[in-house]
Amino acid sequence: MRSARPVQPDAAKPGTFSNGDLQQANGIQKIFCDGYWIRYYEPPPESFSAKKQLLDALTRRTFHHTEPGINTPGDRLDQVRRAYLEETDPQRKRVNAAMLAGSLFNRATDIFTAIVDLEERGIVITEDDDLMKQCERCLNEALSLCDNVKHYSGEEGVDELWGEPVKVFTMSIADYYLSRYRKIAQAMKEIDQIGEIINVTICALPWFKGSYPLIEGFIQVAKSESEVLRSDPDYLRIWPEFVADGEKILNFQPHIPEDASTSLERHIKRGFNLLCAGKNLITWIANIRVPMPVSTEQYLKKCEEYRENTLKFPE
């Protein structure tokens, strides 16, 4: 995606926007990316210090959204690697691989911290310096192990999230920011896709009358959650709304007819469980701000199976 540039909304016709175009919407600066207008944040000036702050934030974010127990200190890298190499049980080795990836990320952060400290003391570090090469090797090896790392829910690994710190190291900060808008746009697209399938599969059924506005409202605030930074004052408004709207879905009570057969009652309850699962999937995607294609595909298949079973019951 090319560099961001401002456009005049009055001078542009619908459908003529290009990736990277900027405009004000309700007092908020937005950037256009792959069909979505996303909150735009000005990237900080390029420096090792700025990259280090961004790398720290992304590393914390990565561990926050992945399975527990893998945030292994970088100074234990040799021990963690040895445990991984010696493990023979496939399931345990998968966890060891995730722990090794975590240790590699932390080692890379440790090295980059040392680089920034040297820079602040007036010692110039070039891209060809051995410290830089060590940092890059750690990040790349961590990335190669990302398939072994699961989302904290136990769902698929989030490869796109796991690769974010690597991008910070290999790209300029400005280019990294632009790449993030593309991932957010992909996340928003998945959120819309899941919302649409929920509406068609569940909300349209008479047993779930009244659920449609809940899903529609949640979809909109989920997309807002996916684009807003926690440092943004609007986060104090968006996050409570996001949580509260999600709770409304979980508290929804489907209508079970008094004369419903046991099989119909079970079917309606399965529909409610599917509704809650969709809400959870949207929550995860909005929080990590990258798509979860495997989990989404699995959810869509479950919805398709439910629609087929619904044909067995008269409405």
3-state secondary structure of 212: helix
Secondary structure letter of residue 151 according to DSSP: B
Write down the residue that tokens 């310096």 correspond to: 129
Secondary structure letter of residue 257 according to DSSP: -
List the alpha helices (DSSP H) in the chain. Answer: 48-65, 77-86, 90-120, 130-144, 159-162, 164-170, 173-198, 212-227, 235-250, 262-288, 293-310
Q: Which pLDDT band holds residue 9 (cuts at 50, 70, 90)?
A: very low
Q: What angle do CA 39, 214, 315 make, to 5 degrees?
A: 140
Where is average pLDDT lowest: 8-17, 185-194, 258-267?
A: 8-17
pLDDT: which is higher, 13 or 226: 226
Q: Could you report the per-residue pLDDT of 169-212, keeping only the tens digit for each?
A: 778 899 989 999 999 999 999 999 999 999 999 999 999 999 99
| Prediction pTM value | 0.84
pLDDT attached to residue 97: 94
Mean per-residue pLDDT, 135-153: 86
C-alpha torsion sign, points 146, 149, 152, 158: positive
Q: Which pLDDT band holds residue 11 (cuts at 50, 70, 90)?
A: very low
d(CA 291, CA 192): 12
Going by C-alpha positions, the residue among 157, 130, 171, 134 that lies closest to residue 62 is: 157
pLDDT: which is higher, 126 or 74: 74
